[in-house]
């Protein structure tokens, strides 16, 4: 026990820790129990909000990655790049639906770091002048619209879909480059020189590819759906197919 000195006009107060009941221990596990119960409910087989068996229009915001397979009419391809877009699912009965996606992706290539400039229109100049930096830049914008008729296998909480269709893929290419041309030097020799000014060249390549797709739809909450899928677009017999890995969150109407 400790005595606190008495202030003038006030009585002293004795403070003692003996006989006091200890405070109840903290329960940090309670939030984890709540999360565990919610997770078990979410992934249980009981139809917490069994909506997938009921056909409905669904609209999605999509993201993911797009593989540029078409290299016939463009300078650069064969790379995975981020994509963004939207999609819609329109039921055609209980087992079939029309799925339409529209996505866009962007590919930029700085020709300098790409080695031997195999596809560059002025390859010979850079081979003769390896110390000169190639500052040419190619920008490609892809626009892809892929409608498909899909077959759905519906369950309470999720649906699996597989489908095919004929779509539209367009690659818009812009090349900003410094052209090279022959010029006679003071000794009378013909040499290649590079222009100081940049020139822009545009090219548009469009094709209606055959698309195959498969994926899953999963109900996350009432009217909220998660979608994940893989699409393959076949454009040319002698070129690799374009591909799309898409994931998105949708709303059921």
99-151 pLDDT per residue, tens: 999 999 987 665 543 444 445 557 778 788 888 888 887 788 889 999 999 99
Question: What are the start-end ranges of the H helices in the chain?
Answer: 30-43, 123-128
Average pLDDT over the chain, rounded to an integer: 78
| pLDDT for residue 231 is more than 80 | yes
Give the pLDDT score at 152: 97
Structural domains in the chain, sorted by start: 25-252 (2.40.160.20)
**Which residues, other chains included, contact 198 with Cβ-Cβ below 8 Å and sequence gap of 6+?**
176, 177, 178
**Backbone dihedral angles phi then psi of residue 113, each to the nearest 5 degrees:** -80, 5
Angle 195-197-202 from CA coordinates, rounded to 5°: 105
Evaluate if pTM is beyond 0.85: no
Question: Which helix H or strand E contains 201, and what residues bound it?
Answer: strand 199-207
Contact call for residues 246 and 67 (beta carbons, < 8 A): no
**Which residues, other chains included, contact 175 with Cβ-Cβ below 8 Å and sequence gap of 6+?**
75, 136, 137, 138, 200, 201, 202, 203
Residue-wise pLDDT tens digits, 63-111: 999 887 766 555 555 678 899 999 999 999 999 999 999 999 987 665 5
**Which residues, other chains included, contact 57 with Cβ-Cβ below 8 Å and sequence gap of 6+?**
88, 89, 90, 91, 252, 253
| pLDDT for residue 33 is more than 60 | no
């Amino acid at each position: 026990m400790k005595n606190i000195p008495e202030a003038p006009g006030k009585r002293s107060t004795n403070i003692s820790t003996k006989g006091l009941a200890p405070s109840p221990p903290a329960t940090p596990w309670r939030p984890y129990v709540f999360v565990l119960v919610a997770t078990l409910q979410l992934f249980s087989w009981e139809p917490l909000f069994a909506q997938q068996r009921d056909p409905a229009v669904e609209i999605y915001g999509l993201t993911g990655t797009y593989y540029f397979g078409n290299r016939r009419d463009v300078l650069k391809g064969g790379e995975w790049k981020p994509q963004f877009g939207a999609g819609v699912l329109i039921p055609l009965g209980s087992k079939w639906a029309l799925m339409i996606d529209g996505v866009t992706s962007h590919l930029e290539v700085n020709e300098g770091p790409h080695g031997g400039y195999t596809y560059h229109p002025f390859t010979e100049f850079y081979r003769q002048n390896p110390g000169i930096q190639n500052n040419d830049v190619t920008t490609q914008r892809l626009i892809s619209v892929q409608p498909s008729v899909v077959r759905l296998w519906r369950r309470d909480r999720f649906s699996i879909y597989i489908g095919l269709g004929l779509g539209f893929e367009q690659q818009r290419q812009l090349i900003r480059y410094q052209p090279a041309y022959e010029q006679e030097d003071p000794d009378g020799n013909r040499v290649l020189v590079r222009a100081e000014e940049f020139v822009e060249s545009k090219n548009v390549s469009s094709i209606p590819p055959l698309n195959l797709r498969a994926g899953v739809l999963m109900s996350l909450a009432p009217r909220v759906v998660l979608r994940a899928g893989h699409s393959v677009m076949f454009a040319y017999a002698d070129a690799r197919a374009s591909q799309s890995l898409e994931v998105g969150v949708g709303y059921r109407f």
